[in-house]
Structure 1
Amino acid sequence: MPSSDDLRFVALGDSQTEGVGDGDDTVGLRGWADRLAERIAAHHPGTRYANLAVRGRLAGQVHEEQLAPALALRPDLATVVAGVNDLLRPRFDADEVAGHLEAMFAALTGHGARVATLTFPDVARITPLARPIGSRATALNQRIRQAAGRHGVVVAETAHHPVVTDPRLWSPDRLHASPLGHERIAAAVAHALDLPGSDDSWTLPLPTPCPRPTGWRAAAGEARWAASFLGPWIGRRLRGRSSGDGRTAKRPSLRPVRPVPQSGAGGP
C-alpha cells in the first residue's frame, strides 16, 4: 500500500462492490469495498474513498461507464471486480469479458494506481441449478489471473477455498454476499494487499458446520429459490430490464472514511 496518509481508493464494479446483500436501499448499503476502505483508514487516517459500482452492470458497461471517472479521481488504489452478470447471460464470451477487465487493469496501473481484483467461486456449490455455468467461472478466473499477471494486479484468490460456498456467506438470493460474506471478501482483499493486521483467517471454515439439505428438502429449497429469485431475474432479462436501470453510483466522489477497529481478519 502507498505510504501516504492521504490515500485515494476507488472501487469499480457491479452489485457485489456496490454492497447489495449488506444492508438495503432503505438504510443504505455497506459492502466489502466499504469494509475494506474502513480497514485501510485504520492505517491511513487521511483515506478518501469513492465507490462507482452499480448493480446489474456487465463488464463492458463497467469499463465504459466507470473507468474514466475513476481515472479522473487519480486513485492510489483501485479495485476492479466485474463479470458475474456476464456469466449469467445466455451469450458469454470469456475472452471478451476478460478483455474489458484487462483494459481497466492496464489503464489504472498505467496511471500509477495499485489495483486489486478477485476470482469467483464455484457457483454450482452455491446454487446447484447453476451447474451448467460452472465451467464459465473457471474459464473467466483463468483469464483474470493471466491478465492480472501481465499488469501487476493483486488477485484475492477466493475461488480456491471451500468456505466461500458456505450458505451463510450468501444472501437468500444466492447471488450476493451476506454481511458475513462481504466481511470475508474485504478480509481476503486486505490480505492480498498485505494490509497490516491482515492474515489468512478469512479462509477458515465457520466455527459450526452448516448442514446442507438433501433429498426432497434440497429439491424443495431449489424450487423455492427458483420461484423467488430465478424467475423474476429471467423475467427482467426477457423484458430487457436490469436491476441497475436508473441507478447511479452511491459514492461518486472521494470522501473521508471513518476507520473501524478490526478484531480479526476474517470475522466469525
Structure 2
Amino acid sequence: MSGGGAVRFAALGDSLTEGVGDPAADGEGRRGWAALLAEGLAPPEVPVEFGNFAVSGAQTRDVWRHQTPQALAFGPDLVSVVVGVNDTLRCTFDIHRVAARLDRVYRAFAERGAVLLTACLPDPGALLGLPGAVARPLARRQRAVNTVVHALSERYGAVHVHAADGAWIADRAMWSADRLHPGEAGHRALAVRFHAQLALAGREVGPAPSPEAERPPPSRTASLAWLATAGTGWVLRRCTDLLPQLAALAADEVRHGLRGTAARLDLRASTAASAALASVGVASAGVEAGAGVGNGMFNSGSLHVCRKGA
C-alpha cells in the first residue's frame, strides 16, 4: 500500500477506460468500469485513491509517452493497462511497435511492484458488423494485439480478463448506442470480473461492485439513430487515414478468397505477432490469443492470473 495506508489505483488506456458509454450519475462526465472497480478495491476502513489517466482515442504510443509517466508519479499499488484497439484503426499499425510499447509499459509498473491488470478485447469490425472483406483484416490486427497482450501478461504476472469473444459481444444490453463501447451493464460486468479475479489471487478487497445497471440499455432505435448521426462522424474521424489502406486490404482479401488462399493471410498475421513477441524476448509458441482461456468474459474460466515464468 501507499503511504498513509491508502490503496492507489491508476487506470491507463483509451475511451473504454475513460468511461465512454457509462455516464456519471449526475450526468456530468463519465464513470466507467475502472471507477466502479476502485470502489471495491479495499475494505471499507481503507481509503482508495483513484487516478484515471485514460484518454479517448489513445494508442499504445500515447500510453507509453504520456500516461505512463503521469501514472508512475502517482505511485500506484494497482494499475490497469487496456489499450490497442485504436492502433488497429490506423494506417500506421505495426504489431512490432505495439509489442515493444506494451512491454515497456508493463515493465515500468512491474518494476515498481504494482499489481498489473490487463484485458484483450473484441475487434471493432465485429462490433460494427462490417462486411467480411473489410472486417477480416481488422480482426487479424486485433487478434495480433490480443496475442501480444496475452503473452506479455504471462511475462509480468498480470491479472488478465479475456473479453475478446463470447456471448457478451452479441448481447445488446451490454453495449451503448454506438455498439463500440460497453454500456453501464458492460462496464459493471468488467469491474465485477476484475474484482473477483483479484480476490481469487489472494488480494484483500472490499465489497464487489453491483452487476445491476441503474439505467436501461439503449433501444435499437437509439443505436440506429447514433449510427446515422454521430456514428458516421466517429467512423470518419477514426478511419480517415486508414480508409485507403483498408480498401487495399479488402481487395487483397477478396483476391485470396477467390483463389482459396485466405489461410495465407491468417498465417502471415500470426507469424508477424510471433515475430513481434520474439523481438521483445517472449516465445509465443504460435498460440492464438485466447486459446484455452475460456468462452468469454462472462464465464468464470475466462479470467485468470498470469503467472510469472509460466
User: So what's the TM-score if we normalise by structure 2?
Assistant: 0.63
Correspondence 1:166 to 2:171: yes
Q: Say which is worse superposed, 49-58 or 91-100, in terms of deviation.
A: 91-100
Q: CA deviation at 1:137?
A: 1.6
Counterpart of 2:103, as a letter, is: E
Q: How does 1:11-160 map to 2 (within 5 A)?
A: 11-23=11-23, 27-42=28-43, 45-129=46-130, 131-132=135-136, 133-160=138-165
The alignment-based identity, stated in percent, is 36
Matched position secondary structure for 1:12: strand
For 1:82 and 1:147, the matched residues in 2 are separated by 13
On the 8 A contact 2:123/2:142 being kept in 1, the answer is yes
Q: CA deviation at 1:43?
A: 5.2
Q: CA deviation at 1:82?
A: 0.9
Matched position secondary structure for 2:41: helix
For 2:89 and 2:170, the matched residues in 1 are separated by 18
Q: CA deviation at 1:175?
A: 1.6
Matched position secondary structure for 1:193: helix
Q: Report the counterpart of residue 195 of structure 2 in structure 1.
A: 190
Q: Say which is worse superposed, 117-126 or 15-24, in terms of deviation.
A: 117-126
Relative contact order, CA 8 A, sep 6+: which one is greater? 1
Matched position secondary structure for 2:46: coil
Q: Report the counterpart of residue 246 of structure 1 in structure 2.
A: none
Matched position secondary structure for 1:78: strand
CA 1:125–1:235: 2 relative to 1, 3 Å: closer
Correspondence 1:179 to 2:184: yes
Q: Say which is worse superposed, 136-145 or 84-93, in terms of deviation.
A: 84-93
On the 8 A contact 2:40/2:207 being kept in 1, the answer is no
On the 8 A contact 2:16/2:181 being kept in 1, the answer is yes
On the 8 A contact 2:103/2:152 being kept in 1, the answer is yes
| Deviation by residue 1:211-267 (Cα, 9 ceiling, x = unmatched) | xx9xxx9xxx87x66533442124335778xxxxxxxxxxxxxxxxxxxxxxxxx8x
Q: CA deviation at 1:92?
A: 1.9
On the 8 A contact 1:122/1:165 being kept in 2, the answer is no
Q: Report the counterpart of residue 228 of structure 2 in structure 1.
A: 227
RMSD over equivalenced CA pairs, Å: 3.3
Mark the runs of 5 or more structure 1 residues left unpaired by the alignment.
203-209, 241-265
CA 1:73–1:225: 2 relative to 1, 3 Å: closer
On the 8 A contact 1:76/1:114 being kept in 2, the answer is yes
On the 8 A contact 1:9/1:37 being kept in 2, the answer is yes
Q: Say which is worse superposed, 13-22 or 89-98, in terms of deviation.
A: 89-98
| Deviation by residue 1:85-142 (Cα, 9 ceiling, x = unmatched) | 1122234222322321221100001111111110102544422116231222211111
On the 8 A contact 1:158/1:188 being kept in 2, the answer is no
Matched position secondary structure for 1:159: coil
CA 1:29–1:237: 2 relative to 1, 3 Å: closer
For 1:143 and 1:198, the matched residues in 2 are separated by 32
Q: Say which is worse superposed, 106-115 or 42-51, in terms of deviation.
A: 42-51
Mark the runs of 5 or more structure 2 residues left unpaired by the alignment.
212-216, 242-297, 299-310
| Deviation by residue 1:8-60 (Cα, 9 ceiling, x = unmatched) | 11111111111111006952211000000011144562211111111111110
CA 1:43–1:117: 2 relative to 1, 3 Å: farther
Counterpart of 2:13, as a letter, is: G
On the 8 A contact 1:82/1:101 being kept in 2, the answer is no
Counterpart of 2:36, as a letter, is: R
Alignment size in residue pairs: 224
Counterpart of 1:71, as a letter, is: L
